[in-house]
Amino acid sequence: MFIHIGKNTVIKSRDVIAILDSSTAKSAATSEFLQIAKEEGFVKSEEKEGKSIIITEKNIYFSPISSITLLKRANILFDLNDYIV
């Protein structure tokens, strides 16, 4: 399954490690992690408009969609998997 994270970007739901609110980027540890990821080329979108941060197996994305909405989308997809035969 896939999750639309905004700005014509779709990611595989199974690749998602974490969906964070952008306010977590204010902590020293998260800020340092994101800076290193950006320097190493793992960040695939602009930080400016991000309401949430999506960490996947290979990349990090900033999404204009809130983390709560993205989590709801992800949970709906995971719930659907229970009914697919």
Task: Count CB neighbours of 73 within 10 A.
Answer: 18
- What was the pLDDT predicted at 50? 82
Domain count, the chain: 1
> What is the pTM (predicted TM-score) of this model?
0.80
Paired residues of 72 in beta bridges? none
Which range of residues forms the domain containing residue 26? 2-81
Run of H or E residues at 3:
strand 2-6
| pLDDT exceeds 70 at position 12 | yes
Encoding tokens for residue 76?
A: 């709906």
Question: In percent, how much of the chain has pLDDT > 70?
Answer: 85
